[in-house]
Amino acid sequence: MRFIIGGHEVYGATGGLAHEAGRSLAVLVHGAGLDHTVWALQSRWLAFHGFNVLALDLPGHGDSQGPPLLGIGALANWLSEVIVAAEADRAVLIGHSMGSLIALEAAANDPQRVQSLVLIGTAASMPVHPDLLAAAASNDHAAIDMVNLWGYGFGAGLGGSRVPGVWMVGAGERVLECARPGVLHADLTACGAYRDGLRAAERIAAPTLLICGERDQMTPLKSGRTLGAAIAGATIVTLTGAGHMLMAERPYDIQAALAKHLSIDHSRLARR
């Protein structure tokens, strides 16, 4: 699906099904330097379990046009505009890593538009290592190497992809390599500058699920639990042995957690 926000075309993948009237909208927001393809399994699963789906490309990422927006606050405002552009009253917001900060801030600032909130690989703040930021600033491939090294759990380095024939770590590297120059640096700068996570957490009114990797090096489990404790009534699911790139590492565990949180019959496929 393509639509215009702020004079720039925005792309959102629909999970293989056209939107239907009366369905709830699920909006999926990717992390730094990535694009909608990281949600390939989850977007299709949600679409075939009764949701209208938008797995977004953030501005300047993937097939969305315009420059990358500078700052989590600006991206959160843009996300609220996406819900309006999709002609939905409210949406389930599902964010990973930087995308979880965007979803968190949007849910705090525009609560009437948020039906439910899911934060994956998350923390109230996401400081960025100076070496990573410097490499990203110069568009050095070392930045991609560091994100991949720190992003995946130990098992991912041995293979373990749930998609037949796909090299998990290599696929993640290729997505990052496809980002336009400067995009990863803009995203990492936005993450490093964001300091409002706990304040936003106190204002969350929607039912909230956090999914955390036990061995996440980028948003450590302790930090995810701290954020979860600040959100009234939040549920925290910890995936044993998993790293940061949970949609690739543990897609079926993600689906099971979403099914419980969103009251989806996990055994029923939508008939088409």
Tell me, yes or no, whether 105 lies in a domain.
yes
**What is the distance, to the nearest Å, from the Cα of residue 111 to the centroid of all Cα atoms in its chain?**
18
202-217 average pLDDT score: 97
Nearest to 106 by CA among 132, 124, 81: 81
Question: Which of 116, 130, 135, 151 lies closest to 28 in space, CA to CA?
Answer: 116
Which whole number is the average pLDDT over 7-29?
96
Q: How many structural domains compose the chain?
A: 1
Does residue 269 fall inside a structural domain?
Answer: no
d(CA 185, CA 160): 29
Helix (H) or strand (E) holding 75: helix 72-85
pLDDT at 270: 41
In a domain, residue 267? The reply is: no
pLDDT of amino acid 168: 80
Per-residue tokens: 231: 């959100």
* Within-domain flag for 220: yes
Report yes or no on 270 lying in a domain.
no
In a domain, 234, yes or no: yes
Q: What is the pTM of this model?
A: 0.94
Q: Range with the lowest mean pLDDT among 4-8, 42-46, 135-139, 155-159?
A: 155-159
CA-to-CA separations, 26 to 107, 123, 163, 263, in angstroms, rounded: 13, 21, 23, 14
Q: What is the pLDDT of residues 161-170, one digit of tens each?
A: 766 667 788 8
The range of the structural domain enclosing residue 119 comes to 2-261
Helix (H) or strand (E) holding 221: helix 221-229
The domain that holds 80 is classified in CATH as 3.40.50.1820
The first and second tokens of residue 230, run together, are 């600040």
Nearest CA to 214 out of 158, 258, 153, 146 is that of 153
Say yes or no to pLDDT of 215 above 60: yes
Q: What average pLDDT does this structure show over 90-101?
A: 98
Q: Is 250 domain-assigned?
A: yes
Residue of higher predicted confidence among 32 and 268? 32
d(CA 20, CA 36): 21
Element (H, E) at 211: strand 208-213
Judge whether 272 lies within some domain: no
pLDDT value of residue 269:
42
116-150 core/surface letters (b: 16 or more CB in 10 A; e: else): bbbbbbbbbbbebeeebbebbeeeeeebbebbbee
Rg (the chain; Cα; Å): 17
Sheet holding 114-120: strands in order across?
A: 2-5, 8-13, 51-56, 24-29, 91-96, 114-120, 208-213, 235-239
DSSP 182: T
